[in-house]
Amino acid sequence: MAGHARYTALLDACVLFPIAMTDSLMSLATAGLFAAKWTTTIEGEWIAALEEKRPGLRGKFDVRRDQMRQAVPDWEVSELAWKSCAGGLTLPDPNDVHVLAAALAGHVDCIVTANLKDFPREILDPFGIEVLHPDQFIVSQWDLDQLVTVAAFKRMRSRWKKPEATAEDFAASMERGGLPATAQRLREAAELI
């Protein structure tokens, strides 16, 4: 397969860890704004991070993982594919080489990560891969298609277990989840979500 017809983003483990951030990215992907990709190694990283933070829930994140896989059926960059691209790649943090290798193997347009310093432009530019913070990425999606983005956030809010949450509660949860610019956009669109 030569690649996805839509803009394709590899989601790093750090953006699949916070629930508001993950739900936002999955909501926009399922709305068709972009194609989301990740690897089983990336899954293992976000699950391990959550289990470390919440040891009482160890082994309980399979449901979340499976829901993400079901929501984005073409999510996987196979281990065989990314490992074949990893040789010779270097990054400031060697533990992130698999992310760049997966981006190459997955024919992605960008890597969405909160760890921007770990993916220097001078290394990624020759590959034609952009690195974006999730907040910047979400706002860019909003700018490209406001109606679809607002509708995706409205559906996301309706899925939350506390539907009585106000639009401000929803925006505040995004801000607490590391998405301040997204929170501001949600506040501006409060009557629509």
Encode pLDDT of 139-181 as tens digits: 999 999 999 999 999 999 988 876 677 899 999 999 999 999 9
In a domain, 1, yes or no: no
> Same domain for 116 and 152?
no
CB < 8 Å & 24+ apart, contacts of 148-155 = 148/31, 148/32, 148/33, 149/28, 149/31, 149/33, 150/189, 150/192, 150/193, 151/31, 152/27, 152/28, 152/30, 152/31, 152/33, 153/24, 153/27, 153/186, 153/189, 153/193, 154/192, 154/193, 155/27, 155/31
Confidence of residue 5 (pLDDT cuts 50, 70, 90): low
In a domain, 2, yes or no: no
What is this structure's pTM? 0.92
For 29-70, what is each residue's pLDDT tens digit? 999 999 999 999 999 999 999 888 887 777 778 888 999 999
Number of structural domains found in the chain: 2
